[in-house]
Amino acid sequence: MQLEQLFERLKFDYLPDQLEAVCEQAAKRKLDYPDFLAQALETEWAGRNRKGIDSRMQQAKFPAVKTLEAFEFDFQPSIDRQVVRNLAGLAFVERAENVIFLGPPGVGKTHLAVALGVKAIEAGHRVEFQTLDQLMGRLKKAREENRLDRTLKQLTYPKLLIVDEIGYLPLTRDEASLFFRLINRRYERAAMILTSNKSFADWGEVFGEQVIATAILDRLLHHATTINIKGESYRLKEKRRAGLLKTNPPAGAEDPETGSTEHNPKEEDTDAA
Ligand code: ADP
Ligand code: MG
């Protein structure tokens, strides 16, 4: 059989274009047959894997792509970086457990949630990101159109579901019970990451009443890691630093916030977002 025909039958989409380069490399590095074969197959696999990651990234609908590597842990000393590093190993996804980020606005809850989502996608998992508001809109629309059950079922497919911004808008009792149904479906079956600006004690208010809030928390927290971020907004901090820069402090002047005289290279490229 001709090579081209084999590629077609085996559905090799990436190796054909790279074959010349792979052969050249193999000759240069004097690879033996098994190593050459490994190199060639890896080229095909890498192309497929990249395509899978790209399409899962699309499906995830992240508001912006954030990475763990870009997260400055020094800004948020209340976060135990070892805990986050462990989460990045994704055992929680395998075990269908939950992660909950709590804290005031701007401390990096969404950033960390998305960054863990990206890790999960790279590891081959399907991930979906929704704000609670979007999720509620979707569930209510589904119910109006008589397909609530199907939508709830669809929401169990992603290995990791991220529900962002719990607590910004209080839910009605009816909405809270829809949310409970979703939590119930995913409980012990698939992992979730939730973020909230409200402490658990205030979730009664968020969900309209204590009974539903308790039932939701009971399931969510059964197998969960909670990361309580107590710190300042990253954006505000950046702004403040930018402000400090403008007043041009004398060399060696202390940062009034941290008492540090350390030079922070970030000061120079602060955006005003
Ligand atoms: P939250 O969801 O807690 O309100 P975000 O995660 O949206 O906060 O963070 C606000 C902005 O600041 C985002 O652009 C995020 O990438 C950035 N950010 C927050 N904390 C950090 C950090 N420690 N290191 C780097 N960027 C951060
Ligand atoms: Mg957020």
Mutate-to-test residue for ligand 1 from 162, 234, 235, 266, highest number of ligand atoms within 8 A of CB: 234
Instruction: Tell me which residue of 139, 218, 209 sits closest to 179, measured CA to CA.
Output: 139
Q: Which residues surround ligand 2, an ion (CB under 5 A)?
A: 110
Domain with CATH 3.40.50.300 in the chain: 61-271
pLDDT in tens, the chain (273 residues): 899 999 999 999 999 999 999 999 999 999 999 999 999 999 999 999 999 999 999 999 999 999 999 999 999 999 999 999 999 999 999 999 999 999 999 999 999 999 999 999 999 999 999 999 999 999 999 999 999 999 999 999 999 999 999 999 999 999 999 999 999 999 999 999 999 999 999 999 999 989 999 999 999 999 999 999 998 999 887 777 777 645 444 444 333 333 333 334 333 333 333
Q: What's this model's pTM, rounded to 2 decimal places?
A: 0.83
Q: What is the pLDDT of residue 36?
A: 96
What residue type is assigned to position 205 of the chain?
E
Q: Ligand 1 mean position to 224 CA, how many Å?
A: 22
pLDDT recorded at residue 270: 36
The CATH superfamily of 61-271 is P-loop containing nucleotide triphosphate hydrolases (3.40.50.300)
Q: What's the gap in Å between 40 CA and the centre of ligand 1?
A: 41
The per-residue pLDDT for 142 is 97
- Quote helix, strand, coil % in the chain, to nearest 5: 55, 10, 35
* CA-105 nearest atom, ligand 1: 4
50-to-10, 90, 118, 262 alpha-carbon distances in Å: 18, 19, 13, 40
The DSSP 8-state label assigned to residue 249 in this structure reads P
C-alpha dist (Å) from residue 13 to 17, 19, 33, 38, 47: 8, 11, 22, 16, 8
Asked if residue 136 lies in contact with residue 168, where contact means CB atoms within 8 angstroms, the answer is no
Structure tokens at 211: 């009974």
* pLDDT of 244: 64
Task: Give residue 260's pLDDT.
Answer: 39
- In angstroms, what is the span from residue 33 Cα to ligand 2's centroid? 52
Sign of CA dihedral 215, 113, 229, 195: negative
What values do phi and psi take at 229, rounded to 5?
Answer: -95, 115
Pairing of strands 127-131, 98-102: unpaired
